[in-house]
Amino acid sequence: MSGTMKETAADTRPDGVGTKRRRSNSGQLPPGATQAVPKRPRVSAATLGIPLAYLAVTVFGVWWIDIRPAAVAAGFGDIARLLERMVPPTTGPFPDLLALTLETLWIAVAGTGLATIASVFLAAAASRHFTGPRVVRWLAQGIIIVTRAVPSLIFAILFVRIFGLGPLAGGLAIAFHSIGMVGKMMADVFEEQAPSPREAIASVGANRLQNFVSTTLTRALPAVTSLVIYRLDINVRASAILGLVGAGGIGVALQTAIGSLNYRRAAGIILVIVCLLLILELVAYLVQRAVAEHADEHTQSQLHVAGAAQADPGWNRSRVLRTAAAVSALMLFLFSLSQLSLNPARLGQAWDNAAALLSGFVPPVFTEQILLGIFESVIMAFTATFFGVLLGLIIAVLSTRHLIRFEPLSLTLRAVVVFMRGIPDIVYALIFVAALGLGPFAGFLALSISCTALASKFFTDSLQNVDPAPLRALEATGAGRVQVFVSGVWPQFVPSFIGNSLFTSDLALRESAVLGIVGAGGIGFLLDESVATLNYQQTAGILIGLIVVVVALESVARWARRKVI
C-alpha cells in the first residue's frame, strides 16, 4: 500500500520475489558483484504440507457435501431454468428501490467512519511501539481479534435483537466488523514506520499523544486513507445484503422479492447491486490513485509546501484539494450518521436488550450440533477454496499479459472477474438454494464462485509482479510456454500462491459461517435460530467456536508466511 513501502538495498516484491541489484550507472556489474538471481522459495513443510492438507480436506469434502458429476450437471440445469424465470429483470417501484440503495450507502459510510475513528486508538494501543500499560495493549489486540473473527452479518443479527429492525443495526454491524480489519492493518502501518522521528520528538519532552499525532499518524495518513477507501468498497458489498436479517438497505427488497418468488424483480435488484458496486470500485480506484504518495513520478512525498515563514505551512493546489476532500468526507460521514434512525428512546431500550443478551451468554453452551455446524462450515470453506484456487490460477495465467500475449482474452477475463466479485456470496447462495434446495451443496457452489473471483484477482496481481528476466531468458533458448511457466514463473510465484490461498480460505470461512442463514449449509442457520429463539447460551457457544477456528487459521497462515516467504 502506498506509504508503507520502504526503499532498501533489496527489491522485495509483494509476491515474495526478492533480488539484490548493485549496478553502476553504465548498467555493468561493479567489480566483485554477482549477477542478480531471483530468490527461490524454500522447500519446507509449509510449501509441501499446506497444498497436501487442502487436497486431503477437499477429498473428504467432496464426499461430505456429495459433490457428484451427475448432481452438478442436474444442478446447473435447475439453475439455468431459474435464470430463465429471472428474464427480463424488473426493479418494481424505482423510488422505493433508490431509497433503499441510498440507505445501503449511508450504512456503509457510517459504519466505515465509526470503525476508522475507533481503529486509530485501537491500532495505536495494539502496535508493538505502544509504551503504555501492557494490559491496554492486550485489551486492544483482543478487541481487534474478536471483531475480525465475527462476520458483519452475524453482528447484524445480534444488533437487530438489541436495537430492532432498521439501518442502525446495519451501521453498527459494519462498524464492529470493520474495527477488526481496519485496526489490524492500521497497526501494521504504524509498526512499519522508522523509529527515528518518534525518538526525536520524545527527546524534546513531547508526551505520548503529541508524539503519536505529530509523527506516527501524520506519516501514516496516505496509507490509512487508501486503507479506509478500500474498506469502504468492501463494506458497501456487505451492507448490500444486511437487509436479509432486517438490518436495513437494499437487501430488504431482495429478501422480499425472493421470498415472494418474484425472481424477475430479484434479478433487477441484483443488477442494481452489481452496478452500484462496480461504480464504487471505479471511484475507489480513482481516489486511491489521487491520494497515493507516489501516484506518478512527479508527486512529492510531503504534506505541504513551505509557507511565507519557515514555521508556517504553505498552501498549494494539492493541499487545498486534500483539505477539501477531508472536509467533504467528514460532512458525508456526519450526514450518514443522521440517516441511521438514531434516537434517545431507542438507545434507552437498547441498553436493556443488550444487558439481557450479554447476561444470557453465560455460561456458553457447546453441543454436538454446534460442533457439527462449525465443522461443516470449515469443510465447505476449504473445499470451495481448493476448487476456487485452481480455477483462479487458470484465469490469472490467462489474464496476465506477459504470460499469454492476447489482450482481448485478458481484458475479457478481467471483466468477468470484476462482475463475479460484484455479487455478494450470500446472493449466490440465495440463487442456488432457490434452484437446488437447502444444504451445503448450494453453499459450496456460492463459495466456489467467490473464491475463484478472489483468488484470480490476487494471483493476477502477483503474476504481474514476477521478474520477467528469467522468462525472457528461457524463451530465448526456445523453451515452450509450459516450460517457461514451470521453470521461470512458478518458483517466484509459490510464496504468493500459498499466502493468497490461505487468505482466500480465511475469507471463505467467515462467509461460510453465515450462508446457513439462507439455508446453504454450515453453522449460520443454527446461529440465526438461536438468536431468534433467545437461546443466547447457544449463541455464545457458536461465536466462541467461530473465533477459535478463525484465530487458529490465522495462526497457521502466519506460520506459513514465515516459512515460505
- Could you say which of 270, 296, 322 is where a domain stops? 296
Same domain, residue pair 552 and 422:
yes
- Point out which residues pair with 11 in neighbouring strands: 19
**C-alpha grid cell, residue 263:** 425472481
539 plus 486 within the same structural domain: yes
Chosen domain end from 269, 296, 323: 296
Q: Are 249 and 240 in contact (CB under 8 A)?
A: yes
Are the C-beta atoms of 183 and 119 separated by less than 8 Å? yes
For residues 225 and 4, is the Cβ–Cβ distance under 8 A?
no
**Residue 259 forms part of a structural domain:** yes
277 and 175 within one domain? yes
Q: How far apart are CA 188 and CA 184, in angstroms?
A: 6
Instruction: Give the span between the Cα atoms of 209 and 512, in whole angstroms.
Output: 41
Q: Which among 261, 296, 331 is the end of a domain?
A: 296
Spatial neighbors of 451 by CB under 8 A, at least 6 apart, are 384, 385, 387, 388, 389, 392, 504, 508
Are 175 and 257 in the same domain? yes
Q: Are residues 250 and 368 in the same domain?
A: no
Same domain, 253 and 398: no
Predicted local confidence at residue 563, as pLDDT:
67
Q: What is the CATH number of the domain that holds 392?
A: 1.10.3720.10
Residue 12 lies in a domain: no
Look at residue 32 and tell me if it is in a domain: no
Pair (66, 197) in one structural domain: no
Task: Let me know if residue 183 belongs to a domain.
Answer: yes
Same domain for 283 and 204: yes
- Domain span at 448: 42-78+360-565
Which of 35, 43, 38, 41 lies closest to 11 in space, CA to CA? 38
The predicted pLDDT at position 298 comes to 42
In this structure, the answer to whether residues 72 and 121 fall within a common structural domain is no
Q: What type of residue is 270?
A: I
CB 427 within 8 A of CB 270: yes
N-to-C CA span, the chain: 18
User: Could you list the pLDDT tens digit for every one of the 565 residues in the chain?
Assistant: 434 333 333 333 334 433 334 444 444 444 444 444 444 545 555 567 777 888 888 899 888 888 777 777 777 777 777 778 888 888 777 788 888 888 888 898 899 989 988 888 888 888 777 777 888 888 888 888 888 888 888 888 888 888 887 888 888 899 998 888 888 888 877 777 666 676 677 776 666 666 677 667 777 777 777 778 778 877 887 887 787 777 777 877 877 887 777 888 888 888 887 787 777 777 766 665 655 544 444 444 444 555 555 555 566 666 677 677 778 878 888 888 888 877 776 677 778 778 877 888 888 888 888 899 889 988 998 999 999 999 988 888 887 766 666 667 777 877 788 778 777 788 888 878 877 778 888 889 889 998 998 888 888 877 777 777 777 787 778 777 777 777 777 777 777 787 788 888 888 888 888 888 888 888 888 888 888 787 888 888 888 888 888 888 777 777 776 666 5
Q: At what angle do helices 45-65 and 536-564 cross, to 10 degrees?
A: 140
**Residue 315 included in any domain:** no
Strand spans (E) along 115-256: none
Positive or negative CA dihedral for 137, 150, 449, 425? Answer: negative
405 residue type, one letter: R
Task: Report whether 14 contacts 467 (CB < 8 A).
Answer: no
Q: Give per-residue pLDDT as tens, 501-538.
A: 888 888 888 888 888 888 888 888 888 888 878 788 88
Residue 139 lies in a domain: yes
Indicate whether 86 belongs to any domain.
Answer: no
The answer as to whether 303 is a domain residue is no
**Residues 180 and 237 placed together within one structural domain of the fold:** yes
Task: State pLDDT tens for residues 78-118.
Answer: 777 777 888 888 877 778 888 888 888 889 889 998 998 88
Predicted local confidence at residue 310, as pLDDT:
53
Q: What is the model's pLDDT at position 383?
A: 92
Residues 218 and 269 in one domain: yes
Residue 32 pLDDT: 44
CA distances from 218 to 83, 211, 323, 333, 358 (A): 51, 10, 14, 21, 38
The total number of structural domains in the chain stands at 2
Residues 220 and 276 in one domain: yes
How many whole angstroms separate alpha carbon 461 and alpha carbon 401? 11
